Structure 1
Amino acid sequence: MNDKEKLHYRYMIAFLVWTGLLLFSFFYGKNGNEVVSYIGFAGTLSSIILAVAALIYAFYQNSIYGSSNEKLDTSAKRIESVTSSLDRTNEQVSLRLNETVAELRDSLEQTINHMNTGFKQISSSLQEQLDQNAIMNTSLEQVRETVMETKYNLYFALGNFNSVKTEELSTNELNNFILNYVQFQSIHQIIFLYYFIELKKIDKEGNVYNFIIWALNKKIAMDSDVFHEEDDSVKTMVLNKNIGLFWGLYYQTTYSGILEIEGDLSKTIIKSINSDLERAVINRIDLSGIIDQDLHSSLMDMMQNEI
């Protein structure tokens, strides 16, 4: 309804009220007593109606008030329930947090203990390697002294004894040393020597680091059983132990002269190998059975594909 329609509506109401007043004055204007009686009766009736309406309204308001109180009670109970639930949740969170802190503390202690154990193993392994190198260096020094003494005796005896017989004696001494040396080495050191022999056969530069990875994957290197664990520190420890094994062999064999190696881990060149050493190593490999035909083929493929 727009403003114009509202205005017309108001005019109509005013006209009807005015018409009603005219009619009321026309019919009841002559007898004033009846008008007063009517008005009094109407007032009494209106009072009764208003009283009844007031009672109804009061009852209605009381009903609304009771409903509101009930809703307030329900809300209060819900708030109390939520508060209790929050308290229980807070207790559970606190308990779980304490358990998590305890688990983290235990895990950290286990990790620290594991690291300490690993460091002790590395220290022990290095010490064993140093002790072994010291023993081998002492033995090799004695061998070199024996060889030098044998050479001196050979030169001294050339004029009086058969040189071939003396040369055979010197060769036998060196051969006995090589046999004892090969027997003394661990199987992992023998596998290194076997790799050097095969590398010399194909007359090719080698990569000792790649060979160590290959041997660990084939589970024939030192500590191969723990190399595939997820802990990177353990892998690094195993790699370093095998690299240390290579350098130990490098200094032992080159110092004694039974094996001549040039280069480093990534570029290894085998210049010469003592034939007695080669036979002794291959014989021990065959007796151990650690490298079968399939493993030998895999080793050859790895060496041929090295860059």
Structure 2
Amino acid sequence: APVNAMILAEIIHEAGLPPGVFNLVNGMGPVVGEVLATHPEVDMVSFTGSTRAGKRVSELASQSVKRVALELGGKSASVILDDADMEAAVRGTISACMLNSGQTCSAHTRMLVPAGRYDEVKALARAAIAKFSVGPSLEETSKLGPLVSANQRDRVLGFIRTGIEEGADVIAGGDQPPAFEKGYFVQPTILGIKATDTLAQEEIFGPVLVVIPYKDEEEAVAIANSTIYGLGGGVWSGSDEHAMKVARRIRTGQVDINGGPFNANAPFGGYKQSGNGREAGVYGFEEFLEIKSLQLKPVAAA
């Protein structure tokens, strides 16, 4: 989706920013991206994309010891505690997973639920996901549009099939794509799995939510922290205080408490292989600053 960047460039030009202060260069990562990451006159690279590509950017940038900020992949957990409003928590988690047809790095793609309430969660999830109508993006009745490409559609379907082969409980959806004349569609899919299954560890980047039962809060926190990622997440509880107590134990860059909305003034970024550095807010600006100290000779006393 490069067009939005082109529109931004037009706005900046019309606003009168001096030539050269902002430059837009379109191109593929292995061509344009690698030049920017290695060029000696580039002092810093801020990259948003996959963890695999982020590792490559870091590798190239290290050759000139330039600073790097990375906003990469995620496998964010929505931890639903036993005292939560279960219907609101399930509905909110599904919405946080399916945004942009699941093509969001911070999507809540793992829903952790008390084992004793698994059947209740399944029924609530089926009812909630039924409202996510699939169709072309410009149709008013569509709530879930297509994926970005045929390759991505096939990749997501491959993950769903892997989950089924590993014994997943198919709560909703499946590996049969909806039939539309144009577009690369995947059914919104919910699978019940184990914390050690492939789909509990790999970023799928599509409309796929996995439900993982846990026996107590200790196990819930352990499962939430059991991936290489740490970008987003959520905790649902009957009280904000209880939710925040659990949230502080989850190694992730941001945690939504009881469905708290995204705050554009708060620092955004991840732990572990979800990246380093922060975007947005004051911390986002500070990523682009260098600190300089001026040492002055003390003035002699009169």
Shorter-chain TM-score range:
under 0.3
For normalisation by structure 1, the TM-score amounts to 0.22
Structure with greater helix percent = 1
Higher percent of residues as strand:
2
Higher relative CO (CA 8 A, sep ≥ 6), structure 1 or 2?
2
TM-score (norm 2): 0.22
User: Whose Rg is larger?
Assistant: 1
